[in-house]
Amino acid sequence: MTHNFLFGLITTTTLVLSTFSLKANAQNLSVNKNEITSYAQALLAMEPARQQAFGEIKRIVGSGNIPKIVCHEPNSMNSLPNRARDIAVNYCKQSQEIVENYGLSIDRFNRITMEIPNNRNLKQQIYETLVQLQKK
């Protein structure tokens, strides 16, 4: 797994995390193997859409910086041109559907995302699952 791919997955997670409002703190979260697999599958499924959306937005915006897009905060997209805003909104909707299609609620996905930086074991399990899924 390349560094760029891992960076993309982290970016995807961050974008999706920002897509939905967080309702609870994820400290001491217990995550089972099925949830880890579902989480990793959702990340992998979101990655092509993330790359495509980012590429399209970058082409529209140009060489300037793309503003931070927070899906549950529509004002964060106000500085984007209309077409780029439409792409961002579509990506946000698509990401939510992907997470739910892999059997996780948005709240659960976000709780896992919040736990990763604080839980080295969980982070390692997700990484190993991502590697295994990539090999298939």
Residue type, 12: T
Which residue, among 135, 125, 127, has the nearest Cα to 30 in the 3D structure? 125
Task: Quote the number of domains for the chain.
Answer: 1
In the predicted model, what is the mean pLDDT of the chain? 80
Q: Which residue has the higher pLDDT, 46 or 35?
A: 35
How far is the C-alpha of 14 from the C-alpha of 46, rounded, in Å?
Answer: 12
Q: Is 20 inside any structural domain?
A: no
pLDDT confidence of residue 15: 52
What is the span of the domain harbouring residue 103? 33-135
| Residues 48-78: tens digit of each pLDDT | 998 899 889 889 988 677 777 766 677 878 8
pLDDT attached to residue 24: 45
CA atoms within 13 Å, Cβ hemisphere of 118: 11
Q: Is position 10 within any domain?
A: no
Residue of higher predicted confidence among 25 and 89? 89
pLDDT in tens, 97-121: 999 999 999 889 888 988 888 889 9
At residue 37's C-alpha, the angle toward residues 19 and 70, to 5°, is 10
pLDDT one-digit tens code per residue, 6-17: 445 554 555 555
Whether 108 is in a domain gets the answer yes
Residue 26 within any structural domain of the chain: no
pLDDT score for 5: 53
Q: Assess if residue 28 is contained within a domain.
A: no
